[in-house]
Amino acid sequence: MKTHWVQLERYDDVTSVADKIAWSRANRVLLVWPRRGRVLERYLDLVLIQRACQEIGAQLAFLVADELILDHAQELGIPVFRSVKTAQRMLWRRSRQKKIFEPKGWRPRAALEEQQRAARTAPAGWVQNFWLRLSIFLLGVGAVVLAMLLVLPEARIGLSLAQDPQALELPVYASPELAQLNLSGGLPVQYLSMVLEGQDEQPATGAVLIGDKAALGTVKFSNLTNQAVVIAAGTRVLTSGDPAVQFETQREVRLPAKPGSTGEATVQALQTGSKGNVAAGAIQGISGEVGAWLKVTNPAATVGGRDLMTTAVSAEDGVVLRERLTAALQQKALVEVQAKLLPGVRLFPETLQAVKVLREQQIPASGAAAESVSLALQVEFRVWTIREADLEALVEVALDANLPAGTMGLEGSLRVSDSQAPVLDQGQMRWQIRARRVVQASWSDRGVILAVAGHSVEDARQALQQQFRVVGPPVIEMTPAWWPLFPLLPGRITVVVQ
């Protein structure tokens, strides 16, 4: 007969188990309890599970070792097996004596309770002794009272320690070559960089000669072939010098088909100015294909080229404009870097400099004729900074080295100022500083507490005055106020130093 066994989990309840049984569709259902955890312990839970099996016409059996569930199963007449294999092999029909298949070692609950009562032994005689029990009780009460005596009292001590000023002057320097603090007075430098751009303009101050009129002249062409040649207007001829001066014919010239035939044409220099005034015979070249068929020369010098003096951009204009714009950008960089400076950082304005020109554009270039010149710059600036925490750490080391015996620096009292202005010297910023702070007698919570723990109030006050430099007698507050001795527990004593 088909047997469906259901493994129970620790989180299962009657509803979830009933759902699992309803989906089984088997004639026999075997519930297997988990090895650990307790589930379906109530008698009513097992009754409801048994009814769920009866509703679908299935037989119910258990695989369980829990004594309480075994008792409930016996009362309900539900078979119990040792293993799944045994349950599948054996019949589940019960005899008239309601015999069930009991796990090995199982005993009825009533028998177990009887066995436990028999195993109990009578208490020893000393346990029932009245005086002994009273002594133990009084010892317990005494322990509670002692604990209260240790915990109940509380003390508060107020000390006004003597304070003295401490001052020191020492030279310090900041260098980019230092990677960390140097106890000899050296401070590492951190760079602060920023990129700014700007534009400036000024009138041009230079002068230059420019061409005013172009030179004119006459050239003579000679035919070197036995073919007719047409020289178009606009044909370019040029001198043999370097650089060559070019001219352009003003009209068309036709040479007959005869070697040595000649023709003349008026020419004008392509470039205005006196450069176009060339000597006779200086023009000897022809541009274009016709140059291979012809010969050219100027029988007379070209004349009429004239220059004109005008305002131009000089090299000095660019230098002046660059220096002025760089200085303006540097001032702007200083203002912006001071505005963006983080707390705890000191800036050295003397070290601000332009380290790189990222972009430079001058319009027009030097030497060009113009009434004005403009310059656009993009420059990276860099300035030195130091951390004030590094300076304070350096100062504290120096002050601690000169600390009077039995004293300590008062936290938060350190003040550092310049006694001499910083000076940039050989790649280092050097200056003199003055450090001041307040020192007071050395003390610790532990030392104060050890001096007064367990003592009377008067003895504690005298001990504090002898061990510490105090201004006035210590202020002692006891809780409760009538308590004569200081607590023994350190946690019940509070120390306040003014």
Task: List, in order, residues 6 or more apart from 89 with CB less than 8 Å away.
Answer: none
Residues 13, 102 within the same domain: yes
Neighbours of 49 (CB within 10 A): 22
Residues 18, 90 within the same domain: yes
Please give the pLDDT value at position 2: 77
Q: How many Å apart are CA 299 and CA 220, to the nearest integer?
A: 7
Residues 219, 273 within the same domain: yes
- Answer whether residue 199 is part of any domain: yes
Which of 384, 410, 435 is the last residue in one of the domains? Answer: 384
Residue 209, Cα to own-chain centre: how many angstroms?
A: 62
- Answer whether residue 246 is part of any domain: yes
267: left (phi over 0), alpha (psi -120 to 50) or beta: beta
- Answer whether residue 356 is part of any domain: yes
User: What does the block give as tokens for 222?
Assistant: 């000679």
Residues 325, 294 within the same domain: no
Per-residue DSSP letter, 126: G
Is residue 426 classed exposed, middle or buried when 0-12, 13-18 and 19+ CB atoms within 10 A define those classes?
Answer: exposed
Q: How many Å apart are CA 309 and CA 204, to the nearest integer?
A: 14
**Which residue range is the domain that position 51 belongs to?**
3-114
Taking alpha carbons only, the member of 345, 303, 291, 344 closest to residue 216 is: 303
Please give the pLDDT value at position 97: 40
Residues for the chain: how many in total?
Answer: 498
User: What does the block give as tokens for 37?
Assistant: 């955890």
Neighbours of 151 (CB within 10 A): 12
H or E segment and range at residue 495: strand 493-497
- Answer whether residue 454 is part of any domain: no
Domain of residue 16, CATH code = 3.30.750
Residues 197, 326 within the same domain: yes
| E-only strand ranges, 259-400 | 262-269, 283-286, 294-297, 306-312, 345-363, 372-387
Which of 272, 305, 338 is the last residue in one of the domains? Answer: 305
Residues 33, 105 within the same domain: yes
Please give the pLDDT value at position 95: 37
- Answer whether residue 351 is part of any domain: yes
Q: Which amino acid is at 69?
A: I
How large is the angle between the packed helices 67-76 and 43-55, nearest 10 degrees? 50
- Answer whether residue 143 is part of any domain: yes
Q: How many Å apart are CA 89 and CA 498, to the nearest integer?
A: 89
Residues 91, 13 within the same domain: yes
Residues 138, 287 within the same domain: no
pTM: 0.53
Q: How many Å apart are CA 357 and CA 139, to the nearest integer?
A: 91
In angstroms, the first-to-last Cα distance of the chain is: 92
Residues 97, 141 within the same domain: no
Residues 201, 339 within the same domain: yes
Per-residue DSSP letter, 384: E
HSE toward the beta carbon, residue 454, CA cutoff 13 A? 3
User: Please, are residues 282 and 241 in contact by the beta-carbon 8 Å criterion?
Assistant: yes
Return per-residue pLDDT of the chain as tens, 498 residues.
678 888 888 888 888 888 888 887 788 888 888 887 778 888 888 999 888 888 888 888 988 888 888 888 888 889 888 888 888 888 776 533 444 444 444 455 555 566 666 666 556 666 667 787 788 888 888 887 777 666 678 889 888 888 889 999 999 999 999 999 988 899 999 999 999 999 999 999 988 888 889 999 999 999 999 999 999 999 999 998 888 999 999 999 999 999 989 999 999 999 999 999 999 999 999 998 888 889 999 999 999 999 888 899 999 999 999 999 999 999 999 999 999 899 999 999 999 999 999 999 999 999 888 999 999 999 999 999 999 999 999 999 999 988 888 788 888 899 999 999 999 998 999 999 999 999 988 888 888 888 888 888 888 888 888 888 888 888 888 888 888 888 878 888 898 887
- Answer whether residue 424 is part of any domain: no
- Answer whether residue 390 is part of any domain: no
Please give the pLDDT value at position 424: 92
**Strands 186-188 and 345-363, how do they pair?**
unpaired
Task: List, in order, residues 6 or more apart from 248 with CB less than 8 Å away.
Answer: 234, 235, 236, 237, 267, 268, 270
Which of 384, 411, 444 is the last residue in one of the domains? Answer: 384
Residues 201, 348 within the same domain: yes
Instruction: Provide the domain count of the chain.
Output: 4
User: Please, are residues 452 and 493 in contact by the beta-carbon 8 Å criterion?
Assistant: yes
Residues 41, 134 within the same domain: no
Please give the pLDDT value at position 98: 42
Please give the pLDDT value at position 94: 53
Q: Which amino acid is at 496?
A: V
Domain of residue 292, CATH code = 2.40.30.10
Q: How many Å apart are CA 419 and CA 171, to the nearest integer?
A: 10
